[in-house]
Amino acid sequence: MVRGRVSRLSVRDVRFPTSLGGHGSDAMHTDPDYSAAYVIIETDAEDGLKGYGITFTLGKGTEVVVCAVNALAHHVLNKDLKDIVGDFRGFYRQLTSDGQLRWIGPEKGVVHLATAAVLNAVWDLWAKQEGKPLWKLLVDMDPRTLVSCIDFRYITDVLTEEDAYEILQKGQVGKKEREGHMLAHGYPAYTTSCAWLGYSDDTLKQMVLLKVALSDINWHRFKVKVGADVQDDMRRCRLIRDMIGPENTLMMDANQRWDVPEAVEWMSKLAEFKPLWIEEPTSPDDILGHAAISKALVPLGIGVATGEQCHNRVIFKQLLQANALQFLQIDSCRLGSVNENLSVLLMAKKFEIPVCPHAGGVGLCELVQHLIIFDYISVSASLENRMCEYVDHLHEHFKYPVKIRQASYMPPMDAGYSTEMKEESVKKHQYPDGEVWKKLLATQENQV
């Protein structure tokens, strides 16, 4: 039973100095510090439960997202949680359609990242009050209630409420069996952690060896970062392909590095390494550019994957309409939380495009596992050409970290959205006053 009036909303700037080890580095983001705007929602309910929400950033700029969260707070404070979830579509639209704040969006950029953090906290609290992990809350929800959480504005030319309801109704068939399959076997994952662009050859070899030969997880899907130098990419891809063998799956990620002709030319040279897809080959806003690349790579057997920096459901709608991608990558913190991700999952189902979520960031694995498990059980009903990204760092900072078994995400069983961080970790990594940052900033100051 949903209960309580929101009495407090706070937000903290939490940063992890991942740039020191080159973790997360790619052709466009060479020195990321994986970070989060960390939202906490409290109510006056006697149970004392709190909702935790995050949105992912790369260090600098997190303070801007924090400001945006605070600017949205008045839409949440003193609201009954029952009223929020009882008209979730209306509440979503209230956050995204503020008559003044929407001017610095609308439904994109910093203000949308802040919206995601706030809504993620609401979903976490709702699931906790129901005593269920978020994926189970969604799976058990009747189709009409699920549909009522979605804002269909701007996408009804592709997906109407009735379309969504029909898809979810069809998903009821075999749902119990698919849930059992998830509980027994989990959702297929792939690893990105072995081949960040900033890794030296020795580190890269060590990481791949750990994943292939020494790991009891049995990885057989790998992703490598490309895009800085074609000759270096060929050398690194050859090294990785030789280590993982021809039978394992390799994906490539350019992180928006190329213009359209450059992407086609570059991938023609990397085609010999048999990648399943090239991810983010160009600007995330260039729908027609993605379509041109997609068409050009068909003869090479290479698909196009994108989505981690797609602002909203409208961009995804256009990518699908333009046949611009073969693999759709949702992000739990860039879109407007669960609400907007539901609309994208349903559009992907309508177009029969597999969803392979982005999870390369602090907390993203924890969150997106819920969405993709729900997608399999209640929407897509398929595991064909589907997998979810996994990076194996920073999980130790979360109260309910992901569990990987035999290269698969095992469904989380703790109530909530798995968003809660350990308070000790938050205090140490809060910027700029946490213990970790005080030391690092003092060191940097002494080096000037």
Residue 264 lies in a domain: yes
Q: Which of 317, 358, 397, 429 is catalytic?
A: 358
Q: Which pLDDT value is given to residue 260?
A: 99
- The mean per-residue pLDDT over the stretch 326-343 comes to 98
Question: Which pLDDT band holds residue 272 (cuts at 50, 70, 90)?
Answer: very high
Is 225 noted as a catalytic residue in this protein? yes
What pTM, to 2 d.p., does this model score? 0.96
User: Residue 23: is its pLDDT beyond 80?
Assistant: no
Predicted pLDDT at 448: 61
* Average per-residue pLDDT for the chain: 95
Q: What is the pLDDT of residue 417?
A: 99
What residues pair up with 56 in beta bridges, in sequence order? 36
* Averaged pLDDT, 22-44: 87
Residue 221 located in a structural domain: yes
Average pLDDT over residues 352-366: 97
- Total number of domains constituting the chain: 1
pLDDT at 274: 98
pLDDT at 104: 96
Quote the pLDDT of residue 393.
87
In whole angstroms, what is the distance from residue 401 CA to residue 403 CA?
Answer: 7
The pLDDT of residue 210 is: 62
> Is 93 within the bounds of a domain?
no
Question: Could you confirm whether 422 is annotated as catalytic?
Answer: no
The enclosing domain of 177 has a CATH number of: 3.20.20.120
Inside any domain, residue 37: no
Question: How large a percentage of the chain has pLDDT more than 70?
Answer: 94
Q: Is the residue at 441 inside a domain?
A: no
Residue 347's pLDDT is: 99
In the predicted structure, residue 344 carries a pLDDT above the cut 90: yes
Q: What is the pLDDT of residue 179?
A: 99
Residue 83 lies in a domain: no
405 pLDDT band, cuts 50/70/90, is very high
Question: Which of 139-153, 156-170, 225-239, 401-415 has the least mean pLDDT?
Answer: 225-239
223, 225, 290, 397: which one is catalytic?
225
Residue 100 lies in a domain: no
pLDDT tens digits along 140-155: 999 999 999 999 999 9
Q: Which of 21-30, 202-211, 336-345 has the lowest mean pLDDT?
A: 202-211
Nearest CA-CA partner of 77 in 11, 134, 129, 14: 11
Separation CA 376–CA 154 (nearest Å): 26
Q: What is the pLDDT of residue 218?
A: 85
Q: What is the pLDDT of residue 83?
A: 98
* pLDDT at residue number 333: 97
Q: Is residue 61 a part of any domain in this protein?
A: no
Question: For the segment 193-248, what is each residue's pLDDT rounded down to a tens digit?
Answer: 766 566 667 776 666 666 665 567 788 999 999 998 999 999 989 988 988 899 99
Whether 425 has a pLDDT exceeding 80, the answer reads yes
Q: Between 71 and 202, whose confidence is greater? A: 71
The confidence score (pLDDT) of residue 420 equals 99
CB atoms within 10 A of CB 377: 25
Predicted confidence (pLDDT) per residue in 123-138, tens digit: 999 999 999 999 999 9
What domain range includes position 183? 168-423
Q: Name the residue with higher pLDDT: 203 or 299.
A: 299
- 3-class secondary structure per residue, the chain: CCCCEEEEEEEEEEECCHHHHCCCCCCCCCCCCCEEEEEEEEECCCCCCEEEEEEEECCCCHHHHHHHHHHHHHHCCCCEHHHHHHCHHHHHHHHHCCCCHHHHCCCCHHHHHHHHHHHHHHHHHHHHHHCCEHHHHHHHCCHHHHHHCCCCCCCCCCCCHHHHHHHHHHCCCCHHHHHHHHHHHCEEEEECCCCCCCCCHHHHHHHHHHHHHHCCCCCCEEEEECCCCHHHHHHHHHHHHHHHCCCCEEEEECCCCCCHHHHHHHHHHHHHHCEEEEECCCCCCCHHHHHHHHHHHHHHCCEEEECCCCCCHHHHHHHHHCCCCCEECCCCCCCCHHHHHHHHHHHHHHHCCCECCCCCCCCHHHHHHHHHHHHHHHHHCCCCCCCEEECCCCHHHECCCCCEECCEECCCCCCECCCCECHHHHHHHECCCCHHHHHHHHHHHHHC
pLDDT of 25 > 80? The answer is no
